[in-house]
Amino acid sequence: MSIEMDEEIKRWTARRKSALVLDIIQGKTTVSESSRQFDLPPSEIESWIDQAKAGMENALKAKPQDLREQYETQLKALQEAYSEALLELRARKKWDALLAKKDET
């Protein structure tokens, strides 16, 4: 299902998004051409491509996760990264405070 050139799209449904992503993957169009044609930011189209790749990878796994499990796994990884960054930030602030005290003496 290719996207029609003169078709005015008011709402990007999953079907329309997947048709556009498929056209890009098949080389029928590019992200920049689609961006201009449909007045969409390239980053949004690239995001759809990334989502499609993640969905395909999951679908081809021996034991695919459902969408909720995917998001929960992704959320857990992001929370862990946030916690690590927060710990590092706190440690750096304490280290800076200790160095400032040492410089004062």
pLDDT at 25 over 80: yes
Same domain, 50 and 92: no
Same domain, 19 and 54: yes
What pLDDT does residue 101 have?
Answer: 86
Same domain, 86 and 104: yes
Same domain, 49 and 12: yes
- Tokens for 98, please give them: 């200790």
pTM score, whole prediction: 0.55
pLDDT at 16 over 60: yes
Tell me which of 9 and 2 has the higher pLDDT. 9
Same domain, 53 and 81: no
- The secondary structure of 33-64 as a DSSP string is HHHHHHT--HHHHHHHHHHHHHHHHHHTSSSP
User: pLDDT, tens digit, for every residue of 42-81?
Assistant: 999 999 999 999 888 877 877 776 777 888 888 999 999 9
Q: What is the extent of the structural domain holding 88?
A: 65-105
